[in-house]
Chains A and B, each alone.
Chain A
């Protein structure tokens, strides 16, 4: 079966079906071919662009750790630095590697708030999740750059499916569309580091998105600071927990496509005041008024 010039997908189920139909051996290759065909670029070019994003993500962790991470509003005051001190003096509640996930996620999310250079994946407001959870695990397991790039295509494919059927925009579907999507993408990418089984990948992505359904977008003073930065940490930790549950063999009851549909439905009935307008929720709390 030859692969057509344009590949149309509607959801995850569809992608797996087409992957089998075209005899493409894994989901990462499928999304790479999908991108190459639909965007009319060579596979080499797509891989090299993804590599550039990977390098920018790695740099964003390093820069975020060096940067004082204080915003003019005063809402963000060097949280990553405080975690670093805790790590240094050995105060982790669990293992230091768990604390490192929090550290790396905060470093990137705070760097973003401070006008640093990040990869919007899928959005700037959720830029800490993939580097913080996925890259931290990939480095802790000494995995190759090639493997990381392959996994990022899986993450991107999951995000693409959400974009096609709902959106990745807080202004449309709330924070579930930003940090929820980031978490689903990251969970899928983490699984791919250890297993190519589409069922396990689907379960991880489904768990992660399900856990963050209903999350509203209510930023204080309209800034990508509070609660956005710490929600990145929640999305990171969630992604890891969901990848681990899926890798252990727990299966999702609701297929990923249906979870995305649920997210879309929840987002569409979410009041406008909770969709990035700063007219509700935390944005209108008493303490938010001075910002």
Chain B
């Protein structure tokens, strides 16, 4: 804890876990996906499913997906704003003991209605949330660092290649997590950075044919 966490966050009520944390999951999911989208499906688990409606969990996640931060006063109107902007969204509700008490999964669909990306997050109290799964890969980050997420073909040398480019631009890596899918031969690296990785650097990383996608976003916070 910190004193500024005790007197804070500034947020839309009524619940730091069910409203502010839910917004943060949506907000992080939008950043991680990093592309335009028009259709999402959201699954709310356990306590989110049970008391989420009364806490505006659903509105907060949609608000976050539209880029509203947890103190954005448009959150209560997120549904109508999303509809006006042409978003297609739907919800399902599940009780599942294998999931966290306050977990949500966001699935992104393309124009052909095919599932392209899925992100799960868990609200952990006090308005804090973390991303716990991306496309079935277990991950763990909360937006406290500047982030770089790279999807790449699982061949030797690519992590070294990414590290070299970041080093050349004086961007220090605080933490790396790698998860891979042996079946499709793809891997994902989650890099927590001390400095933000600008677009020109992610573009440079993407010049290697082994790199499938690189997304960078700055740390969240006050």
Contact = CB atoms under 8 A, between A and B. Distances in A.
A72 interface: yes
Most chain B Cβ neighbours within 10 Å, of A31, A112, A224? A224
Given A50-B4, A221-B54, A223-B54, A117 B11 contact: yes
Interface string A207-247: 00000000000000111110000000000000000000000
Contact of A124 (B6, B16, B76, B222): B16
Most chain B Cβ neighbours within 10 Å, of A117, A163, A169? A117
Chain B residues touching A, majority SS: mixed
B51 A52 contact: no
Chain A residues touching B, majority SS: helix
A39 B13 contact: no
B8 A120 contact: yes
B12 A120 contact: no
B125 interface: yes
Interface string B42-64: 00000100110011100100000
Q: For the side of the interface on A, what is the size category?
A: 35 or more
Contact of B2 (A39, A119, A120, A125): A39
A119 B8 contact: yes
Interface string A122-160: 111101001000000000000000000000110111011
B4 A46 contact: yes
B54 A53 contact: no
B155 interface: no
Given A116-B12, A117-B11, A117-B73, A122 B6 contact: yes
A114 interface: yes
A153 B3 contact: yes
Nearest to A41: B4
A113 B15 CA distance: 8
B7 A124 contact: no
Contacts of B126: 120, 123, 168-169
Contacts of A34: 3
B128 to A, nearest CB: 11
A163 B13 contact: no
B167 interface: no
Interface of A: 31, 34-35, 38-39, 46, 49-50, 52-53, 56, 72-73, 111-125, 127, 130, 152-153, 155-157, 159-160, 163-164, 168-169, 171, 185, 221-225, 278
7 contacts: A39-B2, A39-B4, A49-B8, A56-B10, A56-B71, A118-B12, A221-B54
Task: List 7 tightest A-B contacts by C-beta distance, closest first.
Answer: A112-B13, A222-B51, A156-B3, A159-B6, A163-B1, A224-B14, A115-B76
Interface of B: 1-4, 6-16, 19-20, 47, 50-51, 54-56, 59, 71, 73, 75-76, 125-127, 222
Given A49-B4, A56-B71, A168-B126, 10 more contacts: A72-B54, A73-B54, A124-B13, A125-B15, A155-B6, A156-B3, A156-B6, A159-B1, A159-B3, A224-B55
